[in-house]
Structure 1
Amino acid sequence: MTRLTAKDFEPEVLELFDKYVHGQLSRRDFIASATRHAVAGATGASLLATLAPSFAAPLVAADDKRLKAGYLEYPSPQGYGKLRGYLVQPAAAKGKLPAVLVVHENRGLNPHIEDITRRLALDGFLVFAPDALFPLGGYPGDEDKARELFAKLDQAKTRADFLAAEQILKAHPAANGKVGVVGFCYGGGMANYLATMVPGLAAAVPFYGAQPPAADVPKIKAPLLVHDAGNDARILAGWPAYEAALKAAGTRYEHFVYPGVEHGFNNDTTPRYDEAAAKLAWQRTVDFLRQHLATS
Structure 2
Amino acid sequence: MKAVDNRDKSIHIPQEAFDWYDQYAHGGMDRRTFMKKLGTLTALGFSLPFLTSALLPNYALAEQVSFNDEDILATYEQFDSPEGHGKGQGYLVKPTTDQKSYPVVLVIHENRGLNPYVKDVARRLAKAGFLAFAPDALFPVGGYPGNDDEGRTLQRGLDRAKIQNDFVAAARYLKSHELSNGKLGAVGFCFGGYMVNYLAAVDSDLLSAGVPFYGTPASKELRKNIKAPLMIQLGALDERVNASWPEYESDLKANQVDYQMFMYENAHHGFHNDSTSRYNKEQADLAWQRTVEFFAQNLK
**TM-score per shorter chain, which class?**
over 0.9
Partner SS state of residue 257, structure 1: strand
Partner SS state of residue 215, structure 1: coil
The offset of 1:37, in angstroms, is 2.1
Q: What code does the residue aligned with 1:279 have?
A: D
Residue 34 of structure 1: aligned partner? 38
Q: Aligned match of 2:298 in 283, 292, 295?
A: 292
Q: Is the 8 A contact 1:12 1:37 kept in 2?
A: no
User: How has the CA–CA distance of structure 1 residues 106 and 64 changed in structure 2, closer, same or farther, with 3 Å as cutoff?
Assistant: same
The offset of 1:79, in angstroms, is 5.7
Residue 160 of structure 2: aligned partner? 155
| Structure 2: gaps spanning 5 or more residues | none
Are 2:10 and 1:4 equivalent residues in the alignment? no
Q: Percent identity?
A: 45
Kindly provide the CA deviation profile for residues 157-200 of structure 1, in whole angstroms up to 9, marking residues without a partner as x.
Answer: 01011101111001100000000100000000000000001222
Q: Is the 8 A contact 2:84 2:164 kept in 1?
A: no
Q: What code does the residue aligned with 2:208 have?
A: A
The offset of 1:54, in angstroms, is 1.0
Q: What code does the residue aligned with 1:127 have?
A: A
Q: What code does the residue aligned with 1:70 have?
A: T
Count of aligned positions: 293
Residue 123 of structure 2: aligned partner? 118
Are 2:71 and 1:66 equivalent residues in the alignment? yes
Residue 274 of structure 1: aligned partner? 280
Q: Is the 8 A contact 1:214 1:241 kept in 2?
A: no
> Displaced runs of 4+ in structure 1, greater than 4 A?
none
Range that drifts further, 2-11 or 105-114: 2-11
- TM-score normalized with structure 2 length: 0.94
- TM-score normalized with structure 1 length: 0.96
Q: Aligned match of 1:246 in 247, 252, 263?
A: 252
In the aligned structure 1, how far is the partner of 2:242 from the partner of 2:98? 39
Are 2:200 and 1:202 equivalent residues in the alignment? no
The offset of 1:61, in angstroms, is 0.8
Are 2:80 and 1:75 equivalent residues in the alignment? yes
Kindly provide the CA deviation profile for residues 21-57 of structure 1, in whole angstroms up to 9, marking residues without a partner as x.
Answer: 11110100001112112332513x6522331111114
Residue 189 of structure 2: aligned partner? 184
Residue 93 of structure 2: aligned partner? 88
User: How has the CA–CA distance of structure 1 residues 52 and 205 changed in structure 2, closer, same or farther, with 3 Å as cutoff?
Assistant: same
Residue 215 of structure 1: aligned partner? 221
In the aligned structure 2, how far is the partner of 1:254 from the partner of 1:93? 34
Q: Aligned match of 2:56 in 34, 48, 52?
A: 52
The offset of 1:142, in angstroms, is 1.1
Q: Aligned match of 2:180 in 175, 182, 185?
A: 175
In the aligned structure 1, how far is the partner of 2:5 from the partner of 2:104? 37
| Structure 1: gaps spanning 5 or more residues | none
The offset of 1:83, in angstroms, is 1.1
The offset of 1:289, in angstroms, is 0.4
CA RMSD of aligned residues (A): 1.3
In the aligned structure 1, how far is the partner of 2:5 from the partner of 2:127? 29
Q: Aligned match of 1:14 in 1, 12, 18?
A: 18
